[in-house]
Structures are given as C-alpha cells and as structure tokens.
Amino acid sequence: MSRRLDLIESGRLRPGTRVDFAAADLNSWLRQESAKYFPGAVGNTRVDLANNSGTAYADVDFLKLRQSATGEAPGWLMRSLFAGQRPVTVKWRFVSFNGGARVDLDVVQISGVPIEGSTLDFLIRNYVRPTFPEVKVAEWFRLADRVERLMTTPAGASAFIGR
C-alpha cells in the first residue's frame, strides 16, 4: 500500500495508469496509520467500501484523540464527557473528477447515537476542523499531483493518473 502511494506521489506513473488498492490492504494500512498517529486513541478501525461511498468504523477515545492532535491539556468538561473508548460509525460519500474530490458525511454514530444534519455540521465546524485542519470534509480539495480522480467499489479503491 505504501509503495503504491509513493509511486503516485513520485509523479513517475504514465498518464492513463490506474492504481488499485484492495479493500483488505486499505483496512490494514488504516489500522497501521491510526496506531502510528493516534496510539491508544483510535482502535479497531475498518472501512466497508461501496460505489463512491462507504462506512468507516472505529473505537475512539475523543479525549486522547484531541490530546494527541493538539497537545492541549483537557478541561474538566472534556474529561467528564469524552474520556474512554466509544464506538464510532461514519457513513460517507464522495465525488471526484478533474483532479479534485469532495467527501460528505451522511451520518456519524457515536455509541449508537446518530449525529446528522445541523448537529453534524456543528461537530465538523467546531471539533473536526480546529482539531484536524488538514482533514477536508464537506469541501472540495485537490488530489495529489496528476491524480485525475478516485473511485471506490466494494472491492477497493482506484486512483486514475492523468496528464
């Protein structure tokens, strides 16, 4: 997985190349990356892919996650409300073309409680964006140089190299 990502970012692939990532490889990579970047904060990660959409699952300790991302000491309210692992499910869909993509969240469930609509928008605006400014949700972003588009199917994901 890392080798294929490095190839894409190297700019050495010919236009018209399609790089495929099997769902099992994506899940393995996702588990490794979450353990590396958020040790003890995110576990049991998995994604089930569909046609340009999917569902992601993880156990998240929001207190540890925010601490690892920002280095901030949590206040009493954060400690009281967000300490401990919570099962999280995220249903998402995306579009991708002309070297860009957009990911939109349909619903997030935390401990089985659905968060959607204006409450989900508030969570993205006030927790996700300030804590993880590099994460792009509900906005267009550029793909890696020369990646024309991405797509997913139940079998995995594909990157299409252009120009």
Residue 79 pLDDT exceeds 80: no
Residues forming beta bridges with residue 54, ordered by sequence position: 49, 92
**Is the pLDDT assigned to residue 94 strictly greater than 90?**
yes
Query: What's the pLDDT band for 24 if we cut at 50, 70, 90?
Result: very high
**Which residue ranges make up each domain of the chain?**
2-161
Percent of the chain predicted with pLDDT > 90:
67
One DSSP character per residue, 13-51 reads SPTT-EEEEEHHHHHHHHHHHHHHHSTTTEEEEEEEEET
pTM above 0.75, yes or no: yes
Whole-number pLDDT of residue 127 = 80
Q: What is the DSSP letter of 162?
A: -
- Residue at 105: amino acid letter: L
The mean per-residue pLDDT over the stretch 54-76 comes to: 86
pLDDT at 147 > cutoff 90: yes
Distance CA 31, CA 34 (A): 5
* Rg, Å, the chain Cα set: 17
| Selection from 96, 85, 70, 111 nearest residue 148 by Cα | 96
Task: Summarize the confidence of residues 89-118 as an average pLDDT.
Answer: 95
